[in-house]
Structure formats: C-alpha cells, structure tokens
C-alpha cells in the first residue's frame, strides 16, 4: 500500500523555495524600476529658439568688392531701401573702418587722427549725397572710386553709411528703439605686388563625447596686405577612413593682419568610434592653402551601460525561471524515487516485525 502523505521536511523545503522566489522577484522589480528611472533621467530635451525681426533701412549690397589700378577709376551702383512705412530723408556719409576682433566687426576710424594704411574714404564719392525715400521705396546711388597714383598695392577699406536726416529713430511693435543707420562695406584692392599669407592658429573639437552634435572651432590669421576669403570645408571621416560629411566654412572676408573665428557643427546625434576632422581651405590669388587636423571620440557609454544592465537582468531572469520550473522528467524521477524509498522503508519495518 502506497503512502500518499507528503513528508514534513519536503513541505518545509518547498516553502523555503517559494519564499526565496518571492524575494528574488522583488529584487528584479526593484532593479527594473531603477533601470527605468536611469533611462528617464538620461533622456534628451528639445530646445526652442525664437527670432526677432526689425524694420529700418537696408543697404544693398551690404558688402562691395572693387579692383582698381592706381590713378584709375571704377564706378558701381549701390542701393538703399526704406523698410518702414514712413517717408524719410536719408543722408549719405563715408567713413574708414578696420577690424580688430575675431568676429569680423567693423570699427569706424578717423583717418585724420591716426595713420591708417588701409584708409580709402578720401578716394570715394557717392551721388547723390542725400535722398528722400517713401515707405518701402528703394533708390540707387552711384559710387565712384578714384585712388591716387601713389596708392599702396593691397587692401583699402571704407564704409558708405546711410542714416536718417533726423536723429529720431523708429519704434518696433514692443516700443523698443530701432537703430536705422546701415552701411555698405567697400573692399578696394589696388593692383600691384601684394603679400599673401595666412595661418591656422587654432583648430579644436571636443576630444571625447557621449554623443553628437560635435562643435568645431577654427581661427585663421591673415598675414596678407589684402583681405582674404578662405574657401574650403572640414572633411570628417570615420574609423574606417570613409568620408562621413563635409562641413563648409562660412563665406567671409578676413581683414589684413587680423584673425577670424570659424564655427562649424557636425549636427548628428548618433555616432560611435574615433573620427578624423581635416580642415582644408584655399585663399588669395596665388593659390594659398590652409590645412589642419584633429581627432575625436564619440562613445555613448550611458546607453552601453543600460544595454549591459538589461542583458544581466535577462540572464538572471532566465536562470530564476529555470530554477523555479525544473523539467518535468526530473520532477517525475524524484517522485518515483521517493515512492520507492517509502516502499523500502515499509518493507524494512515489516521484515523487522
């Protein structure tokens, strides 16, 4: 006769296993909650930028390039537009300017107060010198350049300024005052033997990033007797040497013996590995070349940690499932052995009696 009662020791063992399983499941829930919190914490945010518009005067073009020989003459057409709805009288003046900063900001200077090798205001005439513009109207002016015989070869610079005849300024919709003085920058190159030279004094990028975008900063120093306009790009290649993207340099002039900062952005978020950024640019009329190289790494280490954590959690979960759900064959074998052991015990007792 079979004994169908379950041994007390077996009940205790099963109770302990169930308690251990509950504790392990609780630990898994805590780990999963922590992983979710980390994912939310390292999430990204969207930035919103606003742009403001202003109304006043517009100079057309904002920059004018002129090549002329010593004792020569060059005439160009420039325009000015009244962007407001009010009729205005515009006065035209001419000033010399230089650039001292890395942002290309023109600074008006007086050639009578300092020795300005780059001055050109005395060579320029604009006709008419005063115009009246209705709201939204555009008018043309004639700009004439007449350098002297002894004009030095290279660059010379002036600014044609358009300003309202009255000192009052317009107000925008918020009540803020709008500056209505605008100017056309005149870049004059006198033909002759001109020194042309330039250097890249700085080219940097972050050496290590978690993810993009990647910001680049380049500083080019113009050592020429004339302004230059570097034309080129930053070529970015991956660890396999394959070109990923070319970032063009801004189209801008660099004043003689001044520096200019160029900012570029590799606007891609998901990157991985080591990258090479090679800056190449040409300048001047003599085939001048500029080159510089930087390397940087992009490793999304937080994501890698999360992936590794998820893999560990999956491994632990599989192991727990296997431990709590043994194969049916093994379970049946254990039960059969227990029954046989019980029968042997019974036979042993009977034989003893």
Q: Max CA-CA distance within the chain?
A: 141
- Ranked by mean pLDDT, which of 44-53, 55-64, 173-182, 236-245 comes out on top? 236-245
From-to residues of CATH 2.60.40.3880 in the chain = 198-298
Q: Is 108 helix (H, G, I), strand (E, B) or coil?
A: strand
List the one residue out of 149, 183, 232 whose CA is nearest residue 79: 183
From-to residues of CATH 2.60.40.10 in the chain = 57-190
DSSP secondary structure string for all residues of 1-14: ----PPPHHHHHHH
**Domain 198-298 belongs to what architecture?**
Sandwich (2.60)
For domain 57-190, the question of CATH label 3.40.50.1100 is answered with no
- Adjacent-strand bridge partners of 296: 275
- Average pLDDT of the residues in 288-294: 97
Residue 259 tokens, joined: 């520096």
Q: Is 181 helix (H, G, I), strand (E, B) or coil?
A: coil
In this model, does residue 15 exceed pLDDT 70?
A: no
pLDDT digits (tens, 9 = 90+) for 124-178: 999 999 999 999 999 999 999 999 999 999 999 999 999 987 644 444 444 444 4
């Amino acid at each position: 006769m079979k004994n169908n009662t379950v041994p007390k020791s077996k009940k205790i063992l099963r109770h302990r296993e169930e308690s251990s399983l509950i504790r392990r499941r609780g630990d898994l829930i805590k780990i999963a909650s922590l992983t979710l919190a980390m994912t939310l914490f390292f999430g990204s945010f969207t930035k919103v930028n606003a742009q403001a518009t202003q109304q006043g005067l517009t100079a057309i073009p904002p920059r004018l390039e002129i090549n002329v020989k010593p004792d020569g003459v060059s005439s160009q057409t420039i325009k000015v537009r009244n962007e407001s709805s009010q009729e205005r009288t515009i006065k035209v003046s001419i000033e010399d300017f230089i650039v001292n900063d890395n942002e290309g900001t023109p600074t008006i200077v007086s050639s009578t107060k300092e020795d300005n090798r780059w001055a050109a205001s005395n060579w320029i005439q604009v006709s008419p010198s005063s115009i009246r513009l209705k709201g939204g109207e555009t008018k043309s002016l004639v700009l004439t350049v007449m350098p002297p015989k002894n004009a030095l070869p290279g660059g010379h610079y002036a600014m044609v300024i358009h300003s309202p005849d009255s000192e009052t300024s317009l107000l925008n919709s918020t009540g803020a005052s709008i500056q209505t003085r605008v100017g056309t920058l005149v870049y004059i190159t006198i033909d002759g033997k001109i020194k042309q030279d330039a250097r890249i004094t700085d080219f940097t990028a972050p050496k290590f990033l978690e993810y993009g975008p990647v910001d680049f900063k380049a500083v080019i120093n113009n050592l020429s007797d004339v302004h230059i306009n570097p034309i080129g790009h930053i070529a970015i290649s991956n660890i396999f040497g394959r070109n990923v993207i070319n970032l063009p340099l801004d189209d801008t002039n660099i004043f003689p013996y001044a520096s200019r900062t160029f900012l570029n952005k590799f606007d891609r978020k998901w990157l991985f590995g080591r990258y090479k950024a090679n800056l190449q640019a040409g300048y001047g009329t003599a085939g001048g070349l500029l080159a510089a190289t930087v390397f940087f790494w992009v490793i999304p280490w937080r994501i890698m940690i999360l992936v590794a954590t998820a893999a560990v959690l999956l491994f632990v979960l599989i192991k727990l499932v296997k431990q709590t759900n043994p194969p049916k064959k093994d379970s049946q074998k254990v039960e059969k052995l227990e029954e046989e052991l019980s029968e042997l015990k019974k036979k042993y007792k009977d034989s003893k009696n």
